[in-house]
Amino acid sequence: MTLTTANLLQISNVTKRYSTVIANNDVSLNLFKGQIHALLGENGAGKSTLVKIIYGLVKPDVGDMILNNKVYAPENPKKARMSGVGMVFQHFSLFDALTVSQNVLLGMDKSISHNSLMDQIVDVSTSYGLPLNPNRIVGDLSAGERQRIEIVRCLLQKPKLLIMDEPTSVLTPNEINQLFNTLRKLSSQGTSILYISHKLEEVRALCDTATILRNGSIVKSFIPSKTTSAEIAELMVGQKVKPTIKIKSGLKETVLQVRNLSIKSKNTFGTNLKNINFELHQGEILGIGGVAGSGQDELLSALTGETNLEKNTLLYKNIDIGWMSPKQRREIGLLTAPEERLGHAAAPEMNLIENSLITAKNGHGLVKSGWINLSKAVKYAEDIINKFDVRTDSAKNSAKNLSGGNLQKFLIGRELNQNPEVLIVNQPTWGVDASAAQFIRQALLDLISKGNAVIIISQDLDELLEISDRFTALVNGSISKPQLTHTLSVSEIGLMLSTENRTGLEA
Amino acid sequence: MIQIRPRENKSNLLSAVTPVIAVILTMFFGGILFSFLGKNPFEAIKLIFWDPLMSETFADYARPQILVKAAPLILIALGLAVGFRANIWNIGAEGQFIMGALFSGAIGLAFYPSEHWFIFPLMITGGIIGGVLWAIIPGILKSRFNTNEILVSLMLVYIAEQALASASIGLLRNPEGSGFPGSRNLNQYPSASNPEIISGSGIHWGVVFAFLAVWFFHYLLKNHKFGFHIRLFGDAPRAAQFAGLKTEYIVLLCFSISGALAGVAGMFELTGPAGAITIDFNVGYGFTAIIVAFLGRLNPIGILLAGLLMALTYVGGEISQFMLGIPAAAIQVFQGMLLFFLLSIDVIVKYQISFSKTKAISNKS
C-alpha cells in the first residue's frame, strides 16, 4: 500500500437526482495520489452515476469537485481526459476490422502520426506489462487483449486518475492476475485508480481503500485487506427493514425439485452450475440472490428448458421433466420470464399481440390446428394490457417501443395470465421504475396467495428480502441451502453472499 | 464522418413505394448506360418496359413469355423469402433448381416410352425431392457445424452445374441423339410433358402452381403458426428458443421449403419451356429470384408483382437485344441495378444519414 497523503480528487456533497430517484445523495469522497480505491455496492447503488460525474458524462445537481487543488467540473469526457481522468468501460468500443494501433489512433484527442503512435504503444505496453502487438487485427484478440487496448489508450494520455468499471467481468483468471499486476505498477508510479466492482475477493486482493455505496449514499470507507468478505457483504446489504413476518404453518407440498444439477455454460464467459439442490413448495416465493454472473442465466435456461438436462435433475411434482421443451413445460404449468426483455422474452420488432403468442398455451384457443385466430389473439393481448396496467396506446405497438417498465409488466402479465403453477422470474424489476416494480411484486404475491409457487432470481437484495419466504444465494455457480428469510440475520445473509466459504480467487 | 442512425418515425407509405422509386431510378440510370453504348435510351426503355405488353408486333409473343419466365422466378423467390424472413440465407436456389430438374427428368426418362397418368405427378414429387436434398446439405452443415450457409449453398450451385453437364453427356443422354449432349425432348413424350394449358397463353402447370403458391404462402405467413415462427426466429432467435422452437428445426425447414420450390420450378421448366436436360439448361432463375424476393419485400403478393416485372425485363431485354443490338450483359447490369437501387433506397428509408465534420471520437460516451 502506498502511503501518500496528497489529495488527488476531492468530491464534496455531490447529489444527483433522476426525477423521483436519488442516484447520489450528498456523496463526499477523497482520492489520494497513487491509491487504488474500490467503489462497492449493489446494482443501482449509485456507483455508475458517481463515476459518470467524475468522467464528465453526467452533471451533478449539487456539489463540487477539486482535482489537484483546482476546481474540477468537466463538461464532457474530452475535458475530463484533458484534466487527466481516464476511464475504461466495461463494454469496449473497438472496431474489429481495424488493427490495434488504428483503433488507438481513432480514440486520440490530439492528432499524432501513426508511426510515433506505434512506438508509444509499444513503450507503454512493455513498461506496464500489457503485452500488445500494435499490428494485430482487433477481431482476432481475446477479451483481455481488447481490454489492454482500452487501458493503453487511456495510459497514452498519461492520466492521473484511471477509472475501471468492472474490468474483470470478461477476463479469465490468468488475465485478471495480469491486470492486477499492471494496476499495482500504475499505482506505485503515482496514478490513482478508482476500481468499481462487486467481486469482494478481488477488492480485498487489490485495493488500498474501499468505499461502499448504498441507495446513493456512502455507507462507509474501510481498508479491505483488514476486513472479511462477510463483513463487507454485510455492509453492502445494510440493515434491511424486515418485512412483516408471514405466519405460515410450515412448508407445504413440494412442487419443483432440483437435484444435483451441474451444467457447463454454453457461453465462454458464463458460469458453470455446480451441483445445485433445492426444492420449491406450494404457496411460497423462493428468492435466489447473488451478484451478476454467478450463474443466473444458466440456472434460468436450465429451468425454462432451453438447456438439455440430465435425467432426474429436475422434478415437477415428482416427475422428471428435464427432457421437456419449453413449450411442454409451459403446458404442464411451469412458466418462466427471462431477464433480457428484448430479444429473449420478447421479439423487439413484433407487436404485443404477436409477443403474447410466444408463450401463450394452446388452451386459450389462440391457435387452432396451426392457424392463428387473430381476433382472439388481439383480445388476449388487450386483456393482459388492461389487467396489468401496461401503458400503451395500442396492442399493435411493437415491443421495442414500450418503456422498460411497461414491457416488463406486459411480459410478467403474459405469464401470470396463464395462471402458472410455478413461475420462475429472473430480475423481474431490473431497469423498471419504482411504481411498476411495486406492481410486479404485488402481482407475484397475489399469485402465491392462491397456492402457486414462485422463484425469483434477482440481484436486488431489498426486493428478495421484502417478498421471498425463503432465501438462498447463487455464488460462483453453486447455491447454499435455502433459509427462511425472516430468521436470517444480516451477517448470515452477508455470509451466504460472500465467496469465502466457497472457491477462493487466485490473486 | 458519416453518421447512420435508425429513423424514429418510419414512413410506411415510403417503404411501400420504394420498389417503384427503384424501378424509376433504374430506368434513368439504365438509360444513361444504354446511351453510353450508343443506343437511344428512350427507345431501349420503351422496348424493355412497354413494347412486350402493348406493341402489336411483340405482344402476342411477349405476353405469354412473361408468364413463362415469371413462374419459376415467383416459385423460387417465395421459397427464398421464407428463409430470408428467418435470416437464413439460401443463395443456392440455382443449384436446387438444377437438381429438381435432374431428378424429375431421370424419373420421366426411366418410364420412357410407356404412357401412364402417374408419371407426371411422380416427376413433380421427384423435382421436390431433388431440390430438398440439395438444399438440406447447407442446412445440415449449418445446424450441425455452424458453417456459413451463404457460402455452402452458393458453392453447391457449381457442383450442381457439373452434375448437370455430366448427366447431359452421360446418364441422361438421348440414346437416339447421334451422340449430341442432352436428353430426349420431353415435349415429345406426352406423359412427361407440361404443355400450355390454353394454347397461346403461355400458361402451363408451372404458372398455375406459382399462382397457387402465392396464395398459399400469403396465408401461411400471415395467419399460420408456421409463419409466426419464421418471423419470430428472424427477429429474435433466442425468443424463438424460449418459445420452444429448436433452431435446427427452423433452419432445416426453411432450407427444405426453398429447396422444394426451387426444385419444382426446375421440374416445370424442364418439362415445359426447356423440354430437355442440356448443359446450359439453367439460365440464372435461381439468382434472379433473390432480386425478386427483395423487390417483392419478402411478401408473397409483392413477389408475384416483382416476378412479373422481372420477367418483363427479361423478355423486354431480349427484344431490345435483337431490335437495338444491346448486349445481353447490359441487360444483366440493368437487372442488377434494380436490386442495387432497391437496397440503397431501403437504407435511406430506414436510416437517417448525416454528414458532420467532427472527427470520430470513439471513446464512447
pLDDT digits (tens, 9 = 90+) for A8-27: 999 999 998 876 678 888 99
Provide CB contacts within 8 A for A444, sequence distance 6+. Answer: A285, A412, A423, A425, A428, A454, A456, A467
Same domain, A51 and A87: yes
**Chain B within 8 Å of A330 (Cβ-Cβ)?**
yes
3-class state of residue A243 by DSSP: coil
Burial of A365-392, coded b for 16+ CB within 10 Å and e otherwise, reads ebbeeeebeeeebbebbbebbeebebeb
Alpha-carbon span B217 to B209, nearest angstrom: 12
**Cα–Cα distance for residue pair B361/A106, rounded to 1 Å:** 6
Q: Which of B224, B242, B246 sits opposite A358 (nearest CB)?
A: B242
CA angle A431, A436, A438 (to 5 degrees): 105
* More reliable by pLDDT, A89 or A333: A333
pLDDT of residue A124: 86
On whether the CB atoms of residues A53 and A60 are closer than 8 A, the answer is yes
Q: How far is B245 from chain A (nearest CA, A)?
A: 8
Burial class (CB in 10 A: 0-12, 13-18, 19+), A91: exposed
The C-alpha atoms of residue A259 and residue A413 are separated, in whole angstroms, by: 30
CATH code of the domain in which A327 resides = 3.40.50.300
Confidence grade of residue B103 (pLDDT, cut at 50, 70, 90)? very high
- The answer to whether A209 and A37 have CB atoms below 8 angstroms apart is yes
Please list every residue in chain A whose beta carbon sits closer than 8 Å to the beta carbon of residue B241: 306, 326
Please give the single-letter amino acid code of residue B231. R
Q: What angle do CA A298, A300, A303 make, to 5 degrees?
A: 110
**Is the CB of B226 less than 8 angstroms away from the CB of A370?**
yes
Q: How far apart (Å, rounded) are the C-alpha atoms in residues A33 and A191?
A: 6
For residue B19, is it within any domain? no
Which three-class secondary structure state does DSSP give residue A283? coil
In a domain, B121, yes or no: yes
Residue A237 has pLDDT above 80, yes or no: no
CA-based radius of gyration for chain B: 22
What sign does the CA torsion over B241, B247, B248, B253 have?
Answer: positive
Determine, yes or no, domain membership for B273.
yes
Q: Among A251, A245, A248, A250, which residue's Cα sits nearest to residue A279?
A: A251
> At which residue does the C-alpha cell 469482494 appear?
A200
DSSP letter at A4 equals -
Best residue of A52, A102, A350, A424 to probe chain B, by most B CBs closer than 10 Å: A350
**Which residues in chain B have Cβ-Cβ distances shorter than 8 Å to A100?**
none
The residue to which cell 402457486 is assigned: A452
What's the full length of chain B, in residues? 365
Structural domain of residue A198, as residue ranges? 7-227
Task: Decide: helix, strand or coil at residue A229.
Answer: helix
Q: Is the pLDDT of residue A414 over 80?
A: yes
* Contact state of A304 with B242 under an 8 Å Cβ cutoff: yes
Indicate if A202 and A258 belong to the same structural domain: no
Cell triple for residue A142? 481475446
| C-beta atoms of A153 and B225 within 8 A | no
Q: Are residues A279 and A206 in the same domain?
A: no
Of the candidates A107, A305, A338, the beta carbon closest to that of B363 is on A107
Query: What domain count does chain B have?
Result: 1
Q: Which residues of chain B have a CB within 8 Å of the CB of A357?
A: 228
Domains: count for chain A: 2
Tell me, what CATH number does B303's domain have? 1.10.3470
Residue B109 inside a domain? The answer is: yes
Confidence grade of residue B157 (pLDDT, cut at 50, 70, 90): very high
Q: Which position has the higher pLDDT, A47 or A163? A: A163
Cα angle for residues A281, A287, A293 (degrees, 5° grid): 130
Q: Is the pLDDT of residue B154 over 60?
A: yes
Tell me which of A258 and A157 has the higher pLDDT: A258
Asked if B98 and B283 count as a contact pair (C-beta separation under 8 A), the reply is: no
> Helical H runs in A207-271?
229-237
Q: Which of helix, strand or coil describes residue A340?
A: coil
Residue B33 in any domain: the answer is: no
- Verify that A309 and A178 share a domain, yes or no: no
The DSSP call for residue A72 is E
For residue A315, the model assigns a pLDDT of 93
CA B213/CA B218 separation, integer angstroms = 8
pLDDT score at A248 = 54
Q: What was the pLDDT predicted at A499?
A: 63
Q: Are A80 and A67 in contact (CB under 8 A)?
A: no
To the nearest whole Å, the CA of B303 is away from the closest chain A CA by: 22
Q: Using one digit for the tens of pLDDT, what is the confidence trace for A277-301?
A: 999 999 999 999 887 778 888 999 9
The rounded distance, in Å, linking the Cα atoms of A255 and B211 is 53
pTM: 0.74
Same domain, A90 and A132: yes
**How remote is the C-alpha of A340 from its chain's centroid?**
11
Band the pLDDT of A220: cuts 50, 70, 90.
confident
Which of B205, B203, B182 is CA-nearest to residue B193?
A: B205
What is the distance between the alpha carbons of residues B122 and A346, in angstroms, rounded to a whole number?
44
Res. A246 pLDDT band, cuts 50 70 90? low
- Using a CB-CB cut-off of 8 Å, the residues of chain A touching B232 are 347, 350, 354, 358
Judge whether residue A239 has pLDDT over 70: no
The answer as to whether B207 is a domain residue is yes
The C-alpha atoms of residue A376 and residue B321 are separated, in whole angstroms, by 56
Contacts of B86 in chain A (CB under 8 A): none
Identify the pLDDT of residue B4: 76
In this structure, the answer to whether residues A220 and A362 fall within a common structural domain is: no
Alpha-carbon span B326 to B315, nearest angstrom: 13
Q: Are residues A480 and A379 in the same domain?
A: yes
Amino acid at A66: I
Predicted pLDDT of residue B5: 76
Cell numbers standing for residue A444? 407475484
Question: Where residue A128 falls among pLDDT bands split at 50, 70, 90?
Answer: confident
Residue B358 confidence (pLDDT): 52
The DSSP string of A394-440 is: -TTSBGGGS-HHHHHHHHHHHHHTT--SEEEEESTTTT--HHHHHHH
Band of pLDDT at residue A5, cut at 50, 70 and 90: low
More confident of the two residues A229 and A34: A34
CA dist., res. B45 & res. B143, Å (int): 45
Task: Assess whether A209 and A261 both reside in one domain.
Answer: no
> Does residue A232 lie in a domain region?
no
SS (H, E, C) chain B: CEEEEECCCCCHHHHHHHHHHHHHHHHHHHHHHHHHCCCCHHHHHHHHHCHHHHCHHHHHHHHHHHHHHHHHHHHHHHHHHHHHHCCCCCCCHHHHHHHHHHHHHHHHHHHCCCCCCCHHHHHHHHHHHHHHHHHHHHHHHHHHHCCCHHHHHHHHHHHHHHHHHHHHHCCCCCCCCCCCCCCCCHHHCHHHCCCCCCCCCCCCHHHHHHHHHHHHHHHHHHHEHHHHHHHHHHHCHHHHHHHCCCHHHHHHHHHHHHHHHHHHHHHHHHHHHHCCCCCCCCCCHHHHHHHHHHHCCCCHHHHHHHHHHHHHHHHHHHHHHHHHCCCHHHHHHHHHHHHHHHHHHHHHHHEEEEECCCCCCCCCC
How many interchain CB pairs under 8 A, A with B?
82
**Does B360 score more than 60 pLDDT?**
no
- Please tell me the distance from the alpha carbon of residue B205 to that of residue B100, in angstroms, as a whole number: 16
Residue A184 contacts residue A126 (beta carbons within 8 Å): no
- CB distance A79 to A109 below 8 Å: no
Expressed as residue numbers, the domain containing B205 is 40-325
Residue of A nearest to B364 (CA): A93
What count of other Cβ atoms lies within 10 Å of the Cβ of residue A165?
A: 20
Q: Are residues A94 and A222 in the same domain?
A: yes
Residues 6 or more apart in contact with residue A311 via CB below 8 angstroms: A320, A322, A323
